């Protein structure tokens, strides 16, 4: 059974009660909230995710609840908690939905020390993955969202998970975080995609979340082999251009974007080295999404041709 099989009233009742239990790749999560206004958009963001039975092990028990005391009514707040611990400063209640997503990202990063976690997007064509590490403002999420709406499979937008045993990229297929100008760009580029209403004045500017495609969620348990490491950078007016990257530079880029590289120690070093050896690594400038996607499609076609 999937989230989409629940009626809106049932979803809302579960969210405000014992919680919505769902699978997001290798993690089972229980989501609770007494902030009813987030229910409809949350249900659409996770519509294709599988509901998990209450008897199954739950990795993260997450809640976003109204503020205490006067903060329920005067400049109302939202409080994030995991396993009844509140690790963050409260945010304005209007930011409750992105707060839930950011908090879940924090949980994956803080508690997943058996997986190499990269601050990077990852998409796949067939069983081959492209990993896109990049700093904020590089156009990473915009490019990721565009690729997902042109036939690529979403593995993750914010956190790329690498198995230290197999070296494979694991899927999360959670919503894509879009910011500022990217929101209208993707609304125009992919009018059939579901995007939440923009939330203004966050620490990241204006944000909206894009739902993953049904195909991405339904294939979330199928890992992909890291094949390309592409460092994207949006530059107005630039042609879509790949620049080969040396293995040393690629290693440093991946290690710098690994959230728990220092914790994994030798395992992390070996995982990053294995990834560099298996990937073609590039810097990538682009300005037009269609041109960028044509480059990615060409890489996928060349890899498929070489494999025959």
Going by C-alpha positions, the residue among 175, 172, 169 that lies closest to residue 129 is 169
Alpha-carbon dihedral of residues 34, 38, 44, 49, nearest 10 degrees?
-40
Please, which pLDDT band fits residue 135 given cuts at 50, 70 and 90? confident
73: pLDDT confidence band, cut at 50, 70 and 90?
low
- pLDDT of residue 214 exceeding 80, the answer is yes
pLDDT tops 90 at residue 69: no
Mean pLDDT of 82-106: 95
Nearest-angstrom CA–CA distance, 223 and 131:
13
Distance CA(208)–CA(54), nearest Å, equals: 30
Residue 71 has a pLDDT of 63
Q: What is the mean pLDDT of the chain?
A: 94
Quote the pLDDT of residue 84: 87
What mean pLDDT comes out for the span 155-160?
95
Lowest mean pLDDT among 30-39, 256-265, 287-296: 256-265
Domain ranges of the chain: 3-111, 115-307
pLDDT (0 to 100) of residue 136: 77
- Residue 70: pLDDT band by 50, 70, 90 thresholds? low
What's the pTM?
Answer: 0.95
Q: How confident is the model at residue 75 (pLDDT cuts 50, 70, 90)?
A: confident
Section 241-256 average pLDDT: 94
Band of the pLDDT at 185, cuts 50, 70, 90? very high
pLDDT digits (tens, 9 = 90+) for 2-32: 999 999 999 999 999 999 999 999 999 999 9
Mean pLDDT of 254-276: 92
68 band by pLDDT with thresholds 50, 70 and 90: confident
Q: Is the pLDDT of residue 61 over 80?
A: yes
Report the C-alpha gap between 96 and 100 in whole angstroms: 6
């Amino acid at each position: 059974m999937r989230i989409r099989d629940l009626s809106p009233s049932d979803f809302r009742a579960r969210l405000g009660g014992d919680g919505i239990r769902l699978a997001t790749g290798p993690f089972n999560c229980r989501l609770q909230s007494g902030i009813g206004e987030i229910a409809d958009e949350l249900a659409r963001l996770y519509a294709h995710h599988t509901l998990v039975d209450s008897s199954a092990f739950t990795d993260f028990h997450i809640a976003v609840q109204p503020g205490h005391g006067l903060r329920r009514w005067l400049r109302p707040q939202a409080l994030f908690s995991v396993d009844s611990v509140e690790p963050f400063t409260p945010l304005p209640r209007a930011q409750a939905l992105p707060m839930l997503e950011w908090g879940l990202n924090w949980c994956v990063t803080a508690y997943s020390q058996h997986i190499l976690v990269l601050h990077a997007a990852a998409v796949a064509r067939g069983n081959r993955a492209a990993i896109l590490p990049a700093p904020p403002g590089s156009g990473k999420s915009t490019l990721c969202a565009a690729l997902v709406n042109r036939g690529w499979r979403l593995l993750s937008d914010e956190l790329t998970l690498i198995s230290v045993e197999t070296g494979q990229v694991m899927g999360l297929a959670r919503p894509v975080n879009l910011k500022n100008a990217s929101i209208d760009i993707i609304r125009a580029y992919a009018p059939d995609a579901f995007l939440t209403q923009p939330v203004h004045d966050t620490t990241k500017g204006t944000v909206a979340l894009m739902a993953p495609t049904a195909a991405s969620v339904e294939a979330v348990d199928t890992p992909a082999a890291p094949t390309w490491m592409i460092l994207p950078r949006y530059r107005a007016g630039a042609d879509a251009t790949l620049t080969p990257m040396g293995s040393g530079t690629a290693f440093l880029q991946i290690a710098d974007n690994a959230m728990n590289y220092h914790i994994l120690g030798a395992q992390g070093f070996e995982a990053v080295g294995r990834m560099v050896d298996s990937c073609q690594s590039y810097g990538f400038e682009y300005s037009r999404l269609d041109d960028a996607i044509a480059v990615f499609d060409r890489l996928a076609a060349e890899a498929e041709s070489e494999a025959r």
